[in-house]
Amino acid sequence: MTQFKKTFLATLVALSASSAALYSAAVSAHGYVSQPASRAVNCQKGLNKNCGQVTYEPQSVEAPKTASDFPPDGKIASGGWYGAATFDNERSDWQRINIKPGWQQIKWYLTAPHATTNFKYYITKPGWSNANNATLTRSMFEDTPFCQEDMAGVTPPNNVTHECNVPERTGNQLIYAVWRINNTGNSFYQIIDVKFDGSNDNGSEEAAKPVADIKISSDRLSTGNLMLDASASSGESLRYSWQVITNSDKVILTGNTGSKASIRLKQEATSNFDVQVKLTVTNAKEISASKTVTLKAVKAADVNAPVAVVPANFTVEEQDVSAGYTLDGSNSKNAKSVQWKSLTKGFWLQEAAGKPWTATLSKPTVRALIPANTTGNAVYQLTVTGADGTRDVKTVTVTVKAKSSGEDKPEIPATGEYPAWQSAATYVAGDKVTYQGVRYIAAYWTRSAPGSDGSWKLADSSQVAAWSASTPYNGGDHVTYQGKKYKAAYWTRGDIPGQHAVWIAE
C-alpha cells in the first residue's frame, strides 16, 4: 500500500470516528437549566448572540464525567462540546439573571431523562470578578457544591425542580450546574450567568411573562365580523399572533398579527359547532403567553328557536283571602305565541285582579291565583311556540306554606271603636275595623278583607301588617313576611319580599 493510501485511510478513519463522536454527543444530549435561564437557554431565546450550534441545542452540553465534576480548565463552560465552543470565550455581554441569596428554585428541563446519580450546583468564590474575561478554571469555583440532590440511579421526570440555598454574593457571579448520569460515562453541564443586585426575577419566565387578554364583542359567530381585542394584554413591546385552532376551514380571520382582529363565518352555519381562537403575545425578551376563547356557530333554526323564560320557584304564605302572585314570562324569546297553564288541581290563573279564574291563559304575564286557606305546591307551566311551530316548555312552582302562628307584635284585640272585620259587611270611607290583630280604616267603599288590596289603610303607622300580593304599597310602607320585616323602597304590588329588590329587609 502506498504512503498516500495509508495517509488517506488513516484520515478517513479519524474523520469517521470524529463524526461518530459528534453524532453521539448530539443524539445523547438531553437537558438544560430553564430557571435561572442558563447561558445556553439565553442563546436559544436570542438574548445571547453569536452562540453557534448551542442556540438550537441548549440541551447538548455533555461531556465525560470527572472526579471534580468539572471538565478541564478552559472547557468548563462548553463541556468540551464543539457546538458550545463560544462559551469558553468569556464575554461581558452574556445575558445575566438577577438573583438574591437565599432559597431559590433551580429548574431543569430534561428532553430525555436518564438514570441519575445526582444533580450538583457550584458557585464562584466570594470576590470573584471576571472583568478581564479570563478563561474559566476550576479554582474560580467553590470546592463543594452549595446544593446537591442525590438520585441513587432513579430516572427523574422531564421537569425537575430543586430548592437550593444560594450563598451570599455580590455583583456578577457564575453558577455551574452538573447533572451526573448513572448509566453512562457522561454528565451534562450548564453555566448560568447571574447578578446579585438586590432584585430577584431568578430568570424565571413568570417574572417577565406577558399576560394575554382577549375581549370579544360576542361569543356568537355569524357571517358578519366579530371583533377580537387583545389591547388589554400586558407586557413590554408585545407582538400579537391570532390562530384559529378548530374548524378553521369554516371561518375567515382578519388581522392575525395585530392587537385587534376580526372573525366571521364563511357562510351561514348548517350545524352547531365551536371555533377556538388562540392569541399568543410575545414580549421583547421572546417570552410568550397565550389565551384561547371559544366562539359558537349556531344553525339558523336554533338561533330562532323559541325560549321560555319563567321566574324562579318561590314560596308564599297561606292567606285568609284569595291572593294573586305575578308570573312573568315576558322575557321569553322568539315567541309567536305563549300559554300559561296551571298543572295542579285547586290552583288557578288570573289575567289581573278581579278577572275570572281559569286554568290556562295566553298572556306572557299572568297571576298565580291561590285560593283562601289553601296550602301546597302549585305548578304552573309556560309553553312558548316559535314561528316554525317548535316549542319550549318551562315550569315554576309556587309553594304555599301554612301561615305563621303570629307576628312580631302581639295582636291588638277588637274594641268598640275598631270592631272585628266582617266578611259579609260593606264598608265605606272612614269605617274602622280590627283584622288579624291590626287596626285599619277604610279608604273607600269596599267589601275586601283588610290588607288584601288598597281599599284599607293602617290606622297606626307603627303597626306592621302581613304582606299581601294584591295590596299596593308605597315607598316607606312596612310589612312582615315569613317572620321578617321589610320596607318598600318605592311603589309595588305583587312583588314578594325577600325575592325582589323593592323590598328592603329591616
Mark whether 248 and 281 lie in a shared domain. Answer: yes
Give domain status of residue 232, yes or no.
Answer: yes
Q: Do 489 and 475 meet the contact criterion of CB atoms below 8 Å apart?
A: yes
Domain span at residue 384 reads: 314-401
Mark whether 486 and 371 lie in a shared domain. Answer: no
Give domain status of residue 426, yes or no.
Answer: no
Comparing CA positions, the residue from 97, 66, 89, 94 lying closest to residue 166 is 97
Last residue of a domain, one of 207, 224, 252: 207
User: DSSP label at 427?
Assistant: B
CA atoms within 13 A on the CB side of 133: 9
Which range, of 148-162, 256-270, 453-467, averages the lowest pLDDT? 453-467
Q: Do 226 and 294 meet the contact criterion of CB atoms below 8 Å apart?
A: no
Query: And the C-alpha cell for 111?
Result: 428532553
Last residue of a domain, one of 302, 326, 351: 302
Q: Do 451 and 440 meet the contact criterion of CB atoms below 8 Å apart?
A: yes
**Number of domains observed in the structure of the chain:** 4
Give the per-residue pLDDT at 202: 56
**Global confidence as pTM:** 0.40
The pLDDT > 70 percentage for the chain reads: 89
Q: What's 462's domain CATH number?
A: 2.10.10.20
Sign of the alpha-carbon dihedral angle for 355, 356, 357, 360: negative
**Residues forming a β-bridge with 295:** 275
Mark whether 243 and 392 lie in a shared domain. Answer: no
Mark whether 186 and 50 lie in a shared domain. Answer: yes
Q: Do 220 and 237 meet the contact criterion of CB atoms below 8 Å apart?
A: no
What b-and-e string marks burial along 234-268, b requiring 16 or more CB atoms within 10 Å of the CB? ebeebbbbbebebeeebbebeebeebebbbebeee
Which range, of 97-111, 186-200, 344-358, 366-380, averages the lowest pLDDT? 186-200
Q: What is the DSSP string of 53-79?
A: GGGT-GGG-EEE--TTSSPPTT-TTTT
Q: What's 219's domain CATH number?
A: 2.60.40.10
Residues with Cβ within 8 Å of 44's Cβ and at least 6 positions away in sequence, in order, are 54, 55, 56, 58
Give domain status of residue 422, yes or no.
Answer: no
Give the per-residue pLDDT at 24: 37
Give the per-residue pLDDT at 301: 67
Mark whether 325 and 248 lie in a shared domain. Answer: no
Average pLDDT (175-200) is 90
Residue type at 429 in one-letter notation: A
Sign of the alpha-carbon dihedral angle for 124, 125, 130, 131: positive
The pLDDT > 90 percentage for the chain reads: 50
| Residue 96 vs residue 474, higher pLDDT | 96
CA atoms within 13 A on the CB side of 261: 22
pLDDT, tens digit, 9 for 90 and up, residues 216-243: 988 889 999 999 999 888 877 889 999 9
Mark whether 177 and 60 lie in a shared domain. Answer: yes
Give the per-residue pLDDT at 300: 74
Q: Do 371 and 469 meet the contact criterion of CB atoms below 8 Å apart?
A: no
pLDDT, tens digit, 9 for 90 and up, residues 325-355: 999 999 999 999 999 999 999 999 999 888 8
pLDDT, tens digit, 9 for 90 and up, residues 58-89: 999 999 999 999 999 999 999 999 999 999 98
Q: What's 329's domain CATH number?
A: 2.60.40.3450
Mark whether 38 and 72 lie in a shared domain. Answer: yes
Mark whether 78 and 187 lie in a shared domain. Answer: yes
Mark whether 83 and 105 lie in a shared domain. Answer: yes
| pLDDT band, very low/low/confident/very high, at 405 (cuts 50, 70, 90) | low
Average pLDDT, the chain: 85
Give domain status of residue 7, yes or no.
Answer: no
Q: Which residue's C-alpha cell is 495517509?
A: 7
Backbone angles phi, psi at 19, to 5 degrees: -65, -40
Length of the chain: 506
Mark whether 199 and 179 lie in a shared domain. Answer: yes
Backbone angles phi, psi at 44, to 5 degrees: -60, -40
Mark whether 236 and 192 lie in a shared domain. Answer: no
Give domain status of residue 190, yes or no.
Answer: yes
Give domain status of residue 410, yes or no.
Answer: no
Q: Is 476 exposed, middle or buried (0-12, 13-18, 19+ CB in 10 A)?
A: exposed
Give the per-residue pLDDT at 14: 40
Mark whether 271 and 322 lie in a shared domain. Answer: no
Q: What's 187's domain CATH number?
A: 2.70.50.50
Give the per-residue pLDDT at 198: 64
Give the per-residue pLDDT at 443: 84
